[in-house]
Amino acid sequence: MTKTLVENCFSLDTKRIKNDLGKFRCGRENVEGMIRDNLLEKELRVNYWFEEDSLLLSANGGEPQRVLLYNHPLTFGARTYFVCECGRNAGKLYLTSPNGHFKCRKCHGLIYEINTINKHSPQGKFFYKMNRMIKLTNKSEAMKKIFYKGRYTKAFLRNLKMLARAGFSEKVEDAKMLLKSIWA
């Protein structure tokens, strides 16, 4: 059986709806939003809105799916999870086809692309590095704050460490040189 890759699915992160959920909980009416993405090389449009303790999701104008939201209290504030139909709390729900259901990774039986390759073969090694590089590059673009009070931020340093581990020492060296030249 071929497994579906996480990378080939649409994923909805609770962070994506956080702001709108906040507005809804503050009593704002008709809080709704839309996410545009691609799924199976076709355009995907996910409309969402809120009702009581649930999120309603409709893919490409289809029948809405109701997803219960669970608030996990933390010392400061709370973290919201989706409650998948299996009962698990999930930070992300996935859609494998536009007329499918939003479910957690386990329910869909999804695997990460990186886990499908043999890391010990030469091609595998190369692919593994490329895959990590692509992910890290995407991440560093998303990281707005590189400096804080004249130093690299923790998030950036973590990223550098991962780069070094994946074998991209050049990029790490560059970053060190850059910091030296700026704060020299």
Footprint on this chain of Zn ion (rule: CB under 5 A):
84, 86, 88, 103-104, 107
Residue 117, SS3 per DSSP: coil
Taking the least distance from each CB to Zn ion, the nearer of 105 and 160 is 105
Taking the least distance from each CB to Zn ion, the nearer of 9 and 175 is 9
Residue 133, SS3 per DSSP: helix
Q: d(Cα 4, Cα 108) in Å, to the nearest integer? A: 8
DSSP 97: S
Amino acid at the residue 69? L
Nearest distance in Å: CB 111, Zn ion: 15
Neighbour tally for 16: CB within 10 Å: 15
Nearest distance in Å: CB 86, Zn ion: 3
Taking the least distance from each CB to Zn ion, the nearer of 70 and 127 is 70
Nearest distance in Å: CB 95, Zn ion: 13
Q: d(Cα 99, Cα 19) in Å, to the nearest integer? A: 26
